[in-house]
A = this chain, B = another copy of it.
């Protein structure tokens, strides 16, 4: 017992130890503040890139800066934006969802066929579609959380499965717009628009913005949102710290499935018809991932904000429309979009580096 006392004898030096909280003087220059703000706000950089893109195309293409053009850009990114919400929450958990597009298309086909093949009232068909889309997402979640499949491979599998099921189930049949308008206008709801001052803005655009806003709140200011970040950040640590990571993953993928189904419903409104061959089924995953990554969200999970994804989707939309108006040939458009993807993210990285 005696040496215990002695051993700690040097701790007598602690008496009167300073209780001051460390504080250092800070440089308050404008530049420093800007840098700090850039550093703190993950969606700031994509926003700046977006501004620059708008300016450049505004100068290059004469018809670009018309309200009509800008509203068309918004309606063109509505679907990618909604799929991007799904992709964002998945990527925040360090996952990836290759099946988003397939779920969207299959859900839209399910809604359409439920109405036209099985005669279900449109409103109920929509609910069925949303439930089934959510279920498809939940299956992804189960495969990933319970069977421990890597998200890439699980959703690669379900992507193929759902896409094939979509073709098989629909018998490759497109349901025409005029039929839908006549029998089941509820399916086309999101294609409706308001026209303030003659500029058409689709309901779908408002829906996308609302979803981004809601998810931004949920991710930032609720416990569930924090759990999503923690799960993506370090799943083992999160589990040890008391986050039910398995449950969170299943919920995340199911919610993503729900968003995809919503996107499927929006697709009907936007295109009028229900088509199983919609390219979203094939390309929706890459498009949504592009938006997410340009938006500054880390593919390794745990970092980034959904607002960034929204700007990311807008950047792509602006580039595509701008290049079209400038009159670039399609292959050159693909080429330039490739360049611009790299450029946008390189600028992002560079600003972060300078600001850190």
Contact = CB atoms under 8 A, between A and B. Distances in A.
Interface in A161-188: 161, 163-165, 167-168
Contacts of A160: 334-335, 337-338, 341
Interface in A1-23: 3, 6-7, 9-10
Contacts of A293: 150, 152-153, 156
Interface stretch (A27-35, A208-216, A252-260, A345-353): A345-353
A51 B9 CA distance: 69
Contacts of A345: 149-150, 153-154, 157
A10 B331 CA distance: 77
A298 interface: yes
A310 interface: no
Contact of A338 (B164, B290, B342): B164
A298 B168 contact: no
Each complex incorporates copies of this chain amounting to 2
Contact of A334 (B6, B163, B341): B163
Contacts of A289: 152, 156
Contacts of A149: 342, 345-346, 349
Given A3-B9, A160-B338, A160-B341, 20 more contacts: A3-B6, A6-B6, A7-B7, A143-B342, A143-B346, A147-B346, A148-B353, A149-B345, A156-B286, A156-B289, A156-B338, A157-B341, A157-B345, A160-B335, A160-B337, A161-B335, A161-B339, A161-B342, A164-B331, A164-B334
Given A153-B290, A293-B152, A338 B9 contact: no
Given A341-B160, A342-B143, A349-B149, A168 B335 contact: yes
Contacts of A338: 156-161, 164
Contact of A341 (B147, B156, B294, B299): B156
A331 B148 CA distance: 27
Contacts of A341: 153, 156-157, 160
Contacts of A148: 349, 353
Nearest to A8: B7
Interface in A116-170: 143, 147-150, 152-154, 156-161, 163-165, 167-168
A332 interface: yes
A146 to B, nearest CB: 10
Nearest 5 CB-CB pairs, A to B?
A160-B338, A164-B335, A157-B342, A161-B338, A164-B334
Interface in A283-315: 286, 289-290, 293-294, 298-299
Contacts of A350: 147
9 contacts: A143-B346, A147-B350, A152-B299, A153-B290, A156-B293, A157-B338, A161-B339, A164-B331, A168-B335
Contacts of A159: 338
A342 B98 CA distance: 13
Contacts of A349: 147-149
Given A7-B7, A9-B3, A331 B157 contact: no
Contacts of A353: 148
Contacts of A7: 6-7, 10
Nearest to A290: B156
